[in-house]
């Protein structure tokens, strides 16, 4: 049986490059919303020993337009203990005719350094080809031998929006006595399914005819939509370190003993740093002082060195050099707290815009980020150690509402990170506008943000003054900003709030109507959600709840009064609530607006109900106010 399966797999690989890929053969439904189409993909994984795994991969991808070119660039990531061979690339034109071929000698071997990387053991072979005659097909195959057996990748149709798939096959053969576990995760929306065949020599998996997921508004990430298959060996090797991952407890002990304990080393300099802070007060007060001290003297630089890039830098390296990645900075912060007598836990997490959690029933090496958790009697304190601007005990939108692997000496504990309520993710706008008898207006405004809205606005602190002003003008694009001055930006790291004070002038706001003037009720609103009814294919998601509170004070010109205002509006739906109210005074009009958006993942059938809810809000925001001259 083993020979039959192996021969079948080898035959599939050997005839792979004998095929032709005319673009006309792609079904129309797979072209819809697609920039790239995976025509045929074959993967074979052979596990020969605890420290010997071989990947054989072949793929043919049709690139329909220039936006999809980055998806097609042939690349092979590898690290110490890996060797790539049998590399072959062929490019076909629209008719499926061969126009160019490449081999390993055409590839460039570079450090696989993402932006901000300083040191890295990770390498990448990449082909810098240049072919611009769209559409075309690129065929790519190679073999990679690796000693690291802990990172068997998931089998998933694709990870990107606007990519479709005709056919993908995976065969996995375990020639060792080590147990290979697998788990199929079905699509929660029945968007696609995986076909599984289990035989004595191994297992095979396949996907067929999966349409592209369009990057439409409010769409969940593809990983939340598509099915996948996960794999993990009970025993594994990572750069010469052998371990067990039968349970999260086993894996946590190995992780602590092999990756953390060797670098959990203090120094007299670290000890003196803590002594110089003269810590007093509650545990929370002490942790805050240490955290903000750490932020003040470090910066983020990715360092992918040490046991497959998974081991942190030594704390004294971070202390002396003033930089580190999430692993090194978190370990340094942990060591500072250890010297202060405050226990804390190194936590592995999946950082992503959509919450992605670890499967408690399927232990597997994964995660892409590290944070620190400090237990206290009042609750857990969570520390993001890579940002010099992030507030104390605040997690960004990419790390809230999911679980973490808290590494302890006795094993891993799976703990949930906090979630922010709409009330905790508030945006407050206080605006004063001076109306005149012309179409321009001038005004002042204070914007204050907290919770997840704090995260989105923190980016302004990292921009140069000119760029900051331009970005803020774009954000306020519902006003035709003629002039904008930012008086002050305050990042309160204790309360996790950020405040902007601005002056502005805007034109085309007030319009004449006979001898009177009209203007809309709400000057600044969210234009991005002017959406239309559609035949939605997938569910829609509000990843984060929010609440916006506006207080608008219109100052009237001398000799004028508000003759007519719209009716107050109150809307209530499962998607959120909205209220708009008006209060007239002698020489001013006060407008209050509150919009609350609930967090939720909603079925596609409710999308048009959501559209109607948003259109009612849009109509209320644009209701007209009439200002007339006193007689």
The single residue listed with the structure tokens 């670290």 is: 270
User: In 231-247, which positions are buried (b, 16+ CB within 10 angstroms) versus exposed (e)?
Assistant: bbbbbbbbbebebbbee
> Which helix (DSSP H) or strand (DSSP E) does residue 374 occupy?
strand 369-376
pTM of the model as a whole: 0.88
Backbone angles phi, psi at 596, to 5 degrees: -115, 125
Q: What CATH number has the domain spanning 245-416? A: 3.10.620.30
Task: Show Cβ contacts of residue 472 under 8 Å, excluding neighbours closer than 6 positions.
Answer: 460, 484, 486, 500, 502
Contact 529, 543 (CB under 8 A): no
Domain boundaries, the chain: 24-238, 245-416, 426-629
Please report the DSSP string for 221-252 in residue order.
PHHHHS-EEEEEESEEEETTEEEE-SSHHHHH
Q: Do residues 490 and 499 make contact, with C-beta atoms less than 8 angstroms apart?
A: yes
Q: How far is the CA of 463 from the CAs of 424, 457, 471, 531, 580, in angstroms?
A: 26, 11, 9, 30, 34
Secondary structure of residue 92 in the 3-state scheme = strand
Class of domain 24-238: mainly beta
Q: Which architecture characterizes domain 426-629 according to CATH?
A: Sandwich (2.60)
Which pLDDT belongs to residue 112?
Answer: 63
Coil/strand/helix, residue 444 = strand
Q: What is the pLDDT of residue 146?
A: 94
Asked whether 324 and 386 are in contact (CB, 8 A), the reply is no
Residue 326: the pLDDT is 93
Distance CA 64, CA 401 (A): 37
DSSP 155: B
**C-alpha–C-alpha distance, residues 629 and 557, integer Å:** 9
**Residue closest to 193 by CA, chosen among 230, 234, 225, 227:** 227
3-state helix, strand, coil in the chain (%, to 5): 20, 40, 35
- The tokens for 125 are 């072979």
Q: Cα(367)–Cα(381) distance, rounded to whole angstroms?
A: 20
Instruction: Kindly state the DSSP code that residue 220 receives in the 8-state scheme.
Output: P
CB-based contacts of 410, cutoff 8 Å, min separation 6 = 249, 252, 253
DSSP string, 489-517: EEEETTTTEEEEEEEEEEES-SEEETTEE
Q: Are strands 403-408 and 345-349 parallel, antiparallel or unpaired?
A: antiparallel
Q: Which residues pair with 555 in a beta bridge?
A: 434, 588
Torsion of CA 525, 527, 533, 538, to 10 degrees: -100
pLDDT value, residue 308: 55
Q: What is the DSSP letter of 257?
A: I
Looking at residue 121, its pLDDT comes to: 61
Secondary structure, 3-state, 317-356: HHHHHCEECHHHHHHHHHHHHHHCCCCCEEEEECCCCCCC
Residue 427: its pLDDT value, please? 95
pLDDT beneath 70, residues of the chain = 1-19, 112-121, 302-308, 526-531, 533
pLDDT value for 117: 37
The dihedral sign for the CA sequence 351, 355, 356, 357: positive
Geometric angle at alpha carbon 596, from 590 and 598, rounded to 5°: 175
- CA–CA distances in Å: residue 90 to residues 40, 69, 130, 321: 14, 15, 13, 46
The pLDDT, as a whole number, for residue 307 is: 63
């Amino acid at each position: 049986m083993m020979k039959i399966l192996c021969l079948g797999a080898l035959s599939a690989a050997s005839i792979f490059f004998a095929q032709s890929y005319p673009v006309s053969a792609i079904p129309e439904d797979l072209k819809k919303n697609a920039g790239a189409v995976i025509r045929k993909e074959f993967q074979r994984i052979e596990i020969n020993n605890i420290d010997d795994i071989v990947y054989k991969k072949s793929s043919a991808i049709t690139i329909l337009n220039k936006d999809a070119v980055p998806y097609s660039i042939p690349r092979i990531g590898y690290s110490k203990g890996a060797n790539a061979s049998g590399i072959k690339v062929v490019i076909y034109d629209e008719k499926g005719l061969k126009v160019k071929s490449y081999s390993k000698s055409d590839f460039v071997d570079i450090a696989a350094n993402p932006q901000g990387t300083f040191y890295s053991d990770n390498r990448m072979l990449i082909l810098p080809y240049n072919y611009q005659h769209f559409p075309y097909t690129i065929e790519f195959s190679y073999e990679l031998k690796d000693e690291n057996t802990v990172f068997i990748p998931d089998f998933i149709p694709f990870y990107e929006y606007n990519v479709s798939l005709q056919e993908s096959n995976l065969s996995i053969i375990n020639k060792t006595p080590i147990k290979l576990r697998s788990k199929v995760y079905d699509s929660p929306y029945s968007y696609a399914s995986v076909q599984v065949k289990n035989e004595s020599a191994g297992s095979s998996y396949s996907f067929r005819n999966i349409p592209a997921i369009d990057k439409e508004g409010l769409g969940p990430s593809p990983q939340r939509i598509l099915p996948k298959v996960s794999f993990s060996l009970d025993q594994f090797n990572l750069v010469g370190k052998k371990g067990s991952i039968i349970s999260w407890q086993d894996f946590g002990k190995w992780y602590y003993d092999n990756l953390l304990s060797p670098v959990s080393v203090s120094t007299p300099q670290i000890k003196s740093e803590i002594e110089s802070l003269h810590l007093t007060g509650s545990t929370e007060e002490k942790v805050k002082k240490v955290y903000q001290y750490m932020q003040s003297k470090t910066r983020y630089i990715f360092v992918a060195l040490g046991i497959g890039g998974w081991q942190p830098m030594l704390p004294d390296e971070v202390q002396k050099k003033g930089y580190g990645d999430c692993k090194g900075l978190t370990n340094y912060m942990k060591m500072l707290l250890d010297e202060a007598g405050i226990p804390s836990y190194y936590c592995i997490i999946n950082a992503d815009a959509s919450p992605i959690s670890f499967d408690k029933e399927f232990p597997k090496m994964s995660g892409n980020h590290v944070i620190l958790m400090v237990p206290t009697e009042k609750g857990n304190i969570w520390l993001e150690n890579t940002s010099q601007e992030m507030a104390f005990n605040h997690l960004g939108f990419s790390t809230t509402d999911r679980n973490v692997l808290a590494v302890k000496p006795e094993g891993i504990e799976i703990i949930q990170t906090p979630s922010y309520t709409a009330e905790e993710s508030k945006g407050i706008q206080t605006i004063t506008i001076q109306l005149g008898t012309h179409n321009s207006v001038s005004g002042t405004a204070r914007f204050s943000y907290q919770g997840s809205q704090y995260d989105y606005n923190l980016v302004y602190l990292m921009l140069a003054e000119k760029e900051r002003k331009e970005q803020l003008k774009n954000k306020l694009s519902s006003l035709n900003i003629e002039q904008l001055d930012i008086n002050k930006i305050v990042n309160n790291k204790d309360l996790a709030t950020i405040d902007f004070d601005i002056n502005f002038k805007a034109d085309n706001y007030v319009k004449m109507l006979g001898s009177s003037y009209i203007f809309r009720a709400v000057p600044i609103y969210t234009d991005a959600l002017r959406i239309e009814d559609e035949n939605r294919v997938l569910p829609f998601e509000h990843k984060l709840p929010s609440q916006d509170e506006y207080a608008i004070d219109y100052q009237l010109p001398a000799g004028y009064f508000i003759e007519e205002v719209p009716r107050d509006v109150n809307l209530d739906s499962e998607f959120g609530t909205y209220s708009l109210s008006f209060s007239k005074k002698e020489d001013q009009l006060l407008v209050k607006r509150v919009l609350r958006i609930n967090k939720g993942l909603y079925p596609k059938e409710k999308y048009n109900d959501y559209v109607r809810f948003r259109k009612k809000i849009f109509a209320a925001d644009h209701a007209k106010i009439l200002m007339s001259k006193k007689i």
